[in-house]
Structure 1
Amino acid sequence: MLSRTLLCIAIISTSIPVLADTVWLKNGDRLTGTIRVFDGGKLLLQTEYAGAIPLDWKQIKTLESDQKLLVKQDKYPGEIAKSLQPAEDGKVTLANGEAPKTVELASIQQIMKPKPVITDLVWKGSVDAALDFQRAEKNTDDYNIAFKTSARHGDWRHNAKGEYNRETQDGLVSTDNWSAEYSIDRFFTEKWFWDGRVTYKRDDIENLTRQRTIGTGPGYQFWDDELGAFSLGSLLNRTDYEYADGQKANFYSAGMKWDYNRFLIGKRVEFFTNGELNKSLTGVANYSLDSEIGLRYKVTEWASLNLKAEKNLISGSSDGDLDKTRYTAGFGVTW
C-alpha cells in the first residue's frame, strides 16, 4: 500500500508542469525562463542555464507567461495582464480576467512587472571603483571609490551615499577629499514624500576644508519600477563652511535635488544622473552645484563597468570660487 502511494505521488509530481515563461522564436527555437522586462526592442529572459538573455523583439514569434505583467501599447497607458497566452505568429493574447485580447507584438512598447505595494524591505545599491596609474614625466596615481544605497520599508525610505577621492603626482598629494550623506524619506502618498538629510564633506587640499549641510523639504517620486526611477525634491538648508585658515561661515539656502536612472537595451546599460542645486538666501555664496552623470554597463548580473563625470561648483563665495570637474572610469558591483 505504501509503495503504491509513493508511486502515485511520483507520477503526480512529474505530471505537474513547472511554472516558467516560454518564448517561441521565428527560427523555431523555444526558450524557457522568467520574463524580466521588455524595453528598447529587447526582451530580457532570466534562465537557469544561461543567466539573463536579451532577445531581439523582432525575432520573437509569440510568448507565454503565468506572471502578472504590465503591458504598455503605443499611446495607451498600459494594462495589467494576469497572464500571457501564445497566439498566432507575431501576436500574443492578454488574459486579464475579462475577455482575452489578442494584440500584435509590434504594438507593444514595454512589458514589466507591476510595482507591488511595498510591505517588506527592498534594498538596492551600487559600489563603483576607479584606479588610474600613469608613469611618464610625472607619475600620477588616482583613486576613486563611491557607493550609493537605498532601503525601503513601508512608507519609509533610507538613502545613503559616499565617495572618496585621492590623487598624487610624483608622490605629492594633489587631491584628497571624501563626503558622506544620509537622508530619510517619509511617503504620505504613492508619489509625495517628505525628505530630511544631513551631508558632510571634508577636503584636505582645497581652502574650503569642511562643509556641513542639514536640509528638509517635500519631494515627488515620478516613477520607480523595473526600468528605473526619477524623483525631484526641494530643500531648505542650513550650511556651515570651515576654511583652512580657521575662518567659518554659515548660511541658509533653498535648493532642488534630483535622482534619475534609466535602464536601456534589455537592462544591459544604465544611464544615471543625480545632484543638487542651491541658491543662498543670506549672501555667503551665490549658488552651489554638486552633480554627477554617467553610464553603467552590466557585464554580469552583479558586475558592471562605469563611466562618470562629476561637477562641484561654488560661485560667489566670500573666500573665492570653487570649480572642480572630475571624470572617472572603473569597475563596480550593483544589487
Structure 2
Amino acid sequence: MLSRTLLCLAVSTASMPLLADTVWLKNGDRLTGTIKLFDGGKLLLQTDYGGAIPLDWSKIKTLESKEPLLVKQNQYTGEVAKSLQPSDDGKVVLANGDAPKTVEMASIQQIVKPKPVITDLVWKGNIDAALDFQRAERDSDDYNLSFKTSARHDRWRHNAKGQYNRETQDDVVTTDDWSAEYSLDYFLTDKFYWDGRINYKRDKVEDLSRERTVGTGPGYQFWDDELGAFKVGGLLNRTDYEFSNGEKTNFYSVAGTWDYNRYLVGKKFEFFTNGELGKPLSGVADYSLDVEAGLRYKVTDWASLNLKAERDIISGSRDGDVNKTRYTAGFGVTW
C-alpha cells in the first residue's frame, strides 16, 4: 500500500509543471507557462501547448511567477522581485523577502528577466540573407549575406560581424565586395568597457579595393536585456587604403560608434541600427560614415523577415569619394 502511494505521488509530481508561471485573465481563464517579458501592452507567455502567446495586459487580472523578474514602473528604474504573487483584481505582489509590495498592474511599464552583469557564456546573433532576381529588358541578380554575433563570458565580450554583396546586370558584375570585423570588449565596470577591434573590407569593383582598420577606445553599455541593447563608443583608428591602381595610403582618425536594437510588440518586431562616423586627423578626407538600419519581423522563435538600408560614405577624399546606398529585403535566423 505504501509503495503504491509513493508511486502515485511520484507520477503526480512529475506531471506538475516545474516552477510554472500562472496568469489569471479577467474572463476567468487561467494560463500556465513561462513569463518571457511584458512590453508595449503585451505580456509574452511561453507555453508548451501554444508556443509564445502574447496577452493583452488590460485583460489580465493578476499573475504569479516563481522566478526573479525586473519590474519597471517608469522608463529608467526598476525593482528586481524575487517572485510575483497573485493579488486582487488589477494588482500583483512584488515579493522581496520580508518586504512584499502590492502594486497596481496599470502602473507597470515593463517586465523583463534580470540579466546579471557577470555570467557564464551568453551567445546571441543573427544571419540574414537576401536574393533578388529580375528578368526584363535588363537582367539583374543581387545577393546579400550578413551575420552578426556576440559572446560574453565573465568581463570579456567577443563581437564579430561580416557581409557579402554581389550584383550583376546582363552578366556584368557591378558590385562584388565583402567585409569582416572582430572586436573584443573588456568591462572595466558594470557599464564602461574598453574596445579593441580590427576591420577588413575587400571590393573587386570600386577604385578603393582594400581597406584595413585597427582601432581601440572606450565604450559605454546603456543596457543589454531581453528587450534589446544599446552601446556607444569612441575609437582611435589606423586605416590603410589600397586602390585598384596599386597606390596605397594610410592615416589616423577618431570615430564614434553605436549599436542599438529594440524589440517591440511582444518581441514580434525588432528595430536595429549600428554604424561608425569617423573624422581623419590628416587631410585625406572630410569624414567617413558607415551605417546600417532595419526592421525584423519574427515569423517563428528563430526565423525572421528583414528590411535593411545601408550607407557607406567617404567624403572629401583626394583619392575619390565613395557614396554607396543599398536596400535589401530577405529572411534570416536568430539565436
TM-score range, shorter chain: over 0.9
Does 2:188 match 1:188? yes
- TM-superposed CA distance for 1:4, in Å, is 2.9
Residue of structure 2 equivalent to 1:220: 220
User: Residue 263 of structure 1 contacts residue 271 of structure 1 at CA under 8 Å; is this kept in 2?
Assistant: yes
Residue of structure 1 equivalent to 2:311: 311
Residue of structure 1 equivalent to 2:154: 154
User: Residue 295 of structure 1 contacts residue 306 of structure 1 at CA under 8 Å; is this kept in 2?
Assistant: yes
Residue of structure 1 equivalent to 2:43: 43
Q: TM-score, normalised by structure 1?
A: 0.96
- TM-superposed CA distance for 1:6, in Å, is 5.8
Equivalents in 2 of 1:117, 1:74: separation in Å? 21
- TM-superposed CA distance for 1:99, in Å, is 3.0
Residue of structure 2 equivalent to 1:277: 277
Equivalents in 2 of 1:74, 1:327: separation in Å? 36
Equivalents in 1 of 2:36, 2:4: separation in Å? 37
1:102-117 superposed matches below 5 A: 102-117=102-117
Does 2:9 match 1:11? yes
1:175-214 superposed matches below 5 A: 175-214=175-214
Q: Secondary structure at the match of 2:284?
A: coil
Runs of at least 4 residues of structure 1 off by over 6 A? none
User: Residue 251 of structure 1 contacts residue 283 of structure 1 at CA under 8 Å; is this kept in 2?
Assistant: no
The code of the aligned residue for 2:219 comes to: G
Residue of structure 1 equivalent to 2:94: 94
Equivalents in 1 of 2:116, 2:319: separation in Å? 50
Does 2:71 match 1:71? yes
Report which stretch shifted further, 79-88 or 5-14: 5-14
Equivalents in 2 of 1:14, 1:34: separation in Å? 20
Report which stretch shifted further, 115-124 or 205-214: 115-124
Equivalents in 2 of 1:297, 1:118: separation in Å? 30
Equivalents in 2 of 1:328, 1:25: separation in Å? 42
Equivalents in 2 of 1:97, 1:109: separation in Å? 23
Q: Deviations over 1:48-100 (max 9, x none)?
A: 11111111111111111111111111467211111111112111111111332
Does 2:227 match 1:244? no
Equivalents in 2 of 1:77, 1:175: separation in Å? 47
Q: Deviations over 1:16-39 (max 9, x none)?
A: 853200111122221110000001
Q: Secondary structure at the match of 2:312?
A: strand
Equivalents in 1 of 2:81, 2:45: separation in Å? 18
Does 2:35 match 1:31? no
Equivalents in 2 of 1:284, 1:189: separation in Å? 37
Q: Secondary structure at the match of 2:2?
A: helix
Q: Secondary structure at the match of 1:99?
A: coil
The code of the aligned residue for 1:131 comes to: L
Q: Deviations over 1:133-163 (max 9, x none)?
A: 1111111110000000000000100000000
Residue of structure 1 equivalent to 2:256: 256
Report which stretch shifted further, 16-25 or 299-308: 16-25
Equivalents in 2 of 1:84, 1:178: separation in Å? 49
Gaps in structure 2 of 5+ consecutive residues: none
Q: TM-score, normalised by structure 2?
A: 0.96
User: Residue 286 of structure 1 contacts residue 315 of structure 1 at CA under 8 Å; is this kept in 2?
Assistant: yes
Gaps in structure 1 of 5+ consecutive residues: none
The code of the aligned residue for 2:217 comes to: G
Equivalents in 2 of 1:11, 1:255: separation in Å? 64
Percent sequence identity over matched residues? Answer: 72
Q: Secondary structure at the match of 1:223?
A: strand
Equivalents in 1 of 2:44, 2:265: separation in Å? 9
Q: Secondary structure at the match of 2:109?
A: strand
